[in-house]
Amino acid sequence: MNCDEVKRSLQDYVTRELAPDDRRLFDAHLVECGECQRELALMTAVVSTLDHQAVLEPSAGFSHKVLASLPRQRQSLLLSPWWSLVLAPVLGGLAWLFRVPLEHGLAGLLGRSGIGNITLPALTMQNAGIAAAAVAGLGLLVAVGGAYYCWEHYLRD
């Protein structure tokens, strides 16, 4: 090894990342080169100082401040956004399976609640399918929103 090669391997030598064969060549060069001995001493001092940094302490009462700032109520499992990922496709599927009774029920509800003058289009499989697809689409939106919420609050950090 010459001086340039030693200087390039200096940090790996100090942090013991240099391969054993290269380490032997490094040592052999070191015996006869004062300049590289100086470089090694300097780098060893830098690495050793960095490795032994003191742990600083935050101000008194830090732990109590943290505990006092914790959100009092953790989000319950029932309200967890993870449910939306499961519920949305399930609801969408159910809406599709029961699309005909759904539209019947919707028509009856509108009639009973006094807004019966809204005339629904004739009940066809096509219309019922559109209604179910709209419900499924809404479910998909909830799923996307839930996924984004989970990413922001649980996974990103």
Partner 1 sequence: MLEPMESTSEEVLVGRSARGDEQAFGVLVERYKGMLYTMACRLMKDPGRAEDAAQESFIKAWSALPGFKGESKFSSWLYRICYNTCISELRKRKPEVELDEAMGVPVAGPVKEFRNRDMQATIQEEVSKLPDDYRAALTLYHFNGLSYEEIAKLTRKPMGTVKAHIHRARAALKTRLLERVGWDNLKEVMWQ
**Do the beta carbons of residue 41 and residue 35 sit within 8 Å?**
no
For the window 9-28, what string marks contact with partner 1 as x by the rule CB under 8 A?
A: --x-----------------
107: nearest Cα among 96, 99, 98, 119: 119
Instruction: Indicate the residue among 41 and 109 with the shorter CB distance to partner 1.
Output: 41
Say whether residue 154 binds partner 1 (CB under 8 A). Answer: yes
119: left (phi over 0), alpha (psi -120 to 50) or beta: beta
Cα–Cα dist 31/20, whole Å: 17
Residues 48-77 that bind partner 1 (CB under 8 A): 49-59, 62-63, 65-67, 69-71, 74
- Residues contributing to the site for partner 1 (CB under 8 A): 11, 38-39, 41-47, 49-59, 62-63, 65-67, 69-71, 74, 153-157
